[in-house]
Structure 1
Amino acid sequence: MDFSKKIINWYKKNHRKLPWRKTTNPYYILVSEFMLQQTRVSQTIIKSYLNFIKKFPNLEKLAQAEEKDVLKKWEGLGYYSRAKYLHSFAKKLKNGKNFFPVKYQELIKYKGIGPYTGAAVASICFHEIIPAIDGNACRVFSRYFGISNNITSSTTKNMFRIIVSKIIDFEHPGIFNQAIMDLGSILCTPKNPKCFLCPIKNSCFSIQNGTVHKFPVKKIKKFIKHRFFYYIFIRDRNKNICLNKRFNKDIWRGLYDFPLIESKKNLSIHEIIDKIWKIFQIVIYNTSIYKIEHKLTHQILSIRFINCETLQDLKKNILFDNFFLYHLIK
Structure 2
Amino acid sequence: MNFSKKIINWYKNNHRKLPWRETRNPYYVLVSEFMLQKTKVSKTIKYYLDFIKKFPDIEKLAHAEEKEVLKKWEGLGYYARARYLHLFAKQLVKKKPSGFFPKTYKELIKYKGIGPYTGAAVASICFDEVIPALDGNAYRVFSRYIGIYHNITSFGAKNIFRFFILKIMDHNDPGIFNQAIMDLGSTLCTPRKAKCIYCPVKSSCFSFKNGTIYDLPVKNIIKKPVVHRFFYYVFIWDKKNNHLCIHKRNNKDIWKGLYDFPLIESEKNLSISEIIDKIWTKFRIISDSIIYQIIHKLTHQTLFIQFLNCRIIQNIQKEKYFDNFFFIPHEKIVEYPFPRPITLFLKHEKMI
TM over 0.5: yes
Contact 1:237 1:313 in 2 (8 A): no
1:259 corresponds, among 248, 257, 262, to: 262
Shift of 1:217: 2.0
Give the corresponding residue for 1:159. Answer: 160
Contact 2:290 2:306 in 1 (8 A): no
SS of the residue corresponding to residue 285 of structure 2 reads coil
Shift of 1:57: 1.5
RMSD (Å), alpha carbons: 2.3
SS of the residue corresponding to residue 326 of structure 1 reads strand
Give the corresponding residue for 1:135. Answer: 136
Distance 2:237 2:36 in 1: 41
Q: Within 5 Å, which residues of 2 pair with 1:217-228?
A: 217-228=218-229
Give the corresponding residue for 1:26. Answer: 26
Q: Specify the code of the residue in structure 2 equivalent to 1:246.
A: R
Distance 1:257 1:311 in 2: 18
Q: Specify the code of the residue in structure 2 equivalent to 1:286.
A: S
Shift of 1:251: 6.7
Shift of 1:127: 0.6
Distance 1:45 1:233 in 2: 32
Give the corresponding residue for 1:7. Answer: 7
Moved more, 217-226 or 166-175: 217-226
Q: Specify the code of the residue in structure 1 equivalent to 2:63.
A: Q
Q: Deviations over 1:98-156 (max 9, x none)?
A: 42111111111111111111100111111110000001111111222222222222311
Shift of 1:236: 4.5
Contact 1:127 1:174 in 2 (8 A): yes
Moved more, 303-312 or 129-138: 303-312
Q: Can you give the 5+ residue segments of structure 2 that lack an aligned partner in the other structure?
A: 332-350
Taking structure 1 as reference, are residues 313 and 181 closer, same or farther at Cα in structure 2, changes over 3 Å only?
A: farther
Contact 2:249 2:259 in 1 (8 A): yes
Distance 2:150 2:69 in 1: 40
Q: Specify the code of the residue in structure 2 equivalent to 1:59.
A: I
Q: Within 5 Å, which residues of 2 pair with 1:130-209?
A: 130-209=131-210
Contact 2:35 2:81 in 1 (8 A): yes
TM-score (norm 2): 0.85
Distance 1:107 1:191 in 2: 34
Shift of 1:309: 4.0
Give the corresponding residue for 1:36. Answer: 36
Shift of 1:71: 1.9
Taking structure 1 as reference, are residues 152 and 315 closer, same or farther at Cα in structure 2, changes over 3 Å only?
A: farther
Shift of 1:185: 0.7
Give the corresponding residue for 2:247. Answer: 244
Give the corresponding residue for 2:113. Answer: 112
1:292 corresponds, among 280, 291, 295, to: 295
Shift of 1:300: 3.1
Tell me, yes or no, if structure 1 residue 320 matches structure 2 residue 319.
no
Shift of 1:264: 2.1
Q: Deviations over 1:16-74 (max 9, x none)?
A: 000111111111111111111122211x3111111211122112222222222222222
Contact 2:288 2:308 in 1 (8 A): no
Shift of 1:301: 1.4
Contact 1:233 1:241 in 2 (8 A): no
Distance 2:50 2:117 in 1: 24
Tell me, yes or no, if structure 1 residue 73 matches structure 2 residue 72.
yes
Aligned residues: 327
Taking structure 1 as reference, are residues 251 and 127 closer, same or farther at Cα in structure 2, changes over 3 Å only?
A: farther
Shift of 1:202: 1.3
Moved more, 148-157 or 25-34: 148-157
Give the corresponding residue for 2:52. Answer: 53
Q: Can you give the 5+ residue segments of structure 1 that lack an aligned partner in the other structure?
A: none
Distance 1:183 1:255 in 2: 36
Contact 2:50 2:72 in 1 (8 A): yes
Give the corresponding residue for 1:276. Answer: 279
